[in-house]
Structure 1
Amino acid sequence: MPPQIRRPTYPLAHAARHKPRRIPLVLRFYKGAIHNLIIVPVTLHSLFTVLVVYLDRNVVSSLGLPPTIIPSLSIVVGLMLVFRNQTSYDRFWTGRNCLTTVGTCVRNLTRSFLVAARPKDDGGTLTDEEMRDTEKVVRVLVAVLYAIKHNLRAEFNIPPASLVHFSPQARDHMSRRPSYSDSPITISRPASRADSSIENGLETAKDEYVSLLPDGLLGFEDQGLGLPLQLTVLIEGFIRRGFRREWFHGPQASQLTVQVNTLVDAYGRMETIRSTPIPVAHLIHQKQVLLLFNCVLPFATVDDFGWWAVPIVAIVAFTLYGIEGIGVQLEDPFGYDRNDIKMDGIIEDTRQEVMVLLEEWRAKAQGRSEDLGGMFD
Structure 2
Amino acid sequence: MISYNPKSWLALIFHLTKSDTISILWRELVFIFIFTMGLALAEDFFFPKAVVLEKLFSIYSILGFVISLLLAFRTNTAYDRWWEGRKKWGELVNDSRNLAVKLTSLDLSLEDNHFFGRHIGNFTLCIKEHLREGTNYALLDITSEERAFLESLDHIPSGIVELMYRRLNELKKAGVISEEDLLRLDRNLNGFLDCVGACERIKNTPIPYSYSMFFKKFIFSYVITLPFAFVVNFGYWSAIIATFIFYVFVSIEILAEEIEDPFGNDDNDLPTDEMAQRIQGIVHTILDKR
TM-based fold match above 0.5: yes
Does the CA contact (< 8 Å) of 1:156 and 1:221 recur in 2?
A: no
SS of the aligned residue for 1:46 comes to helix
- Flag structure 2 segments of 5+ consecutive residues without an equivalent: none
The residue correspondences of 1:165-184 to structure 2 (distance < 5 A) are: none
Aligned to 1:261: 190
Shift, 1:38, TM fit = 2.6
Tell me the TM-score normalised to structure 2 length.
0.89
Aligned to 1:93: 83
Which of 164, 174, 180 is 1:235 aligned to? 164
What's the CA shift string for 1:246-272, capped at 9, x where partnerless? 343223311211211121011101011
SS of the aligned residue for 2:47 comes to coil
1:339 and 1:55, CA in 2 relative to 1: closer, same or farther beyond 3 A?
same
Does the CA contact (< 8 Å) of 2:227 and 2:238 recur in 1?
A: yes
Rounded to whole Å, the distance in 2 between the matches of 1:74 and 1:324 is: 15
Is 1:132 paired with 2:61?
Answer: no
Aligned to 1:250: 179
Does the CA contact (< 8 Å) of 2:132 and 2:263 recur in 1?
A: yes
1:221 and 1:326, CA in 2 relative to 1: closer, same or farther beyond 3 A?
farther
Which of 74, 77, 102 is 1:84 aligned to? 74
Which of 22, 30, 41 is 1:35 aligned to? 22
Task: Name the aligned partner's letter for residue 142 of structure 1.
Answer: G
Shift, 1:134, TM fit = 3.0
Shift, 1:357, TM fit = 2.0
Shift, 1:315, TM fit = 0.8
Shift, 1:148, TM fit = 0.1
Task: Name the aligned partner's letter for residue 249 of structure 2.
Answer: L
SS of the aligned residue for 1:311 comes to helix
Rounded to whole Å, the distance in 2 between the matches of 1:245 and 1:148 is: 31
Bigger helix fraction:
2
Is 1:115 paired with 2:105?
Answer: yes
Aligned to 2:44: 57
What's the CA shift string for 1:22-69, capped at 9, x where partnerless? 961111222552323332333332222122112111233445241211
Does 1 or 2 have the higher relative contact order (CA < 8 Å, sep 6+)? 2
Rounded to whole Å, the distance in 1 between the matches of 2:153 and 2:286 is: 34
The count of residues paired between Structure 1 and Structure 2 equals: 286
Identity %: 23
Rounded to whole Å, the distance in 2 between the matches of 1:356 and 1:221 is: 26
1:18 and 1:117, CA in 2 relative to 1: closer, same or farther beyond 3 A?
farther
- Flag structure 1 segments of 5+ consecutive residues without an equivalent: 1-14, 119-129, 159-205, 362-377
**What's the Cα RMSD here?**
2.5
Does the CA contact (< 8 Å) of 1:147 and 1:228 recur in 2?
A: yes
Aligned to 1:375: none
SS of the aligned residue for 1:360 comes to coil
1:33 and 1:284, CA in 2 relative to 1: closer, same or farther beyond 3 A?
same
1:285 and 1:257, CA in 2 relative to 1: closer, same or farther beyond 3 A?
same
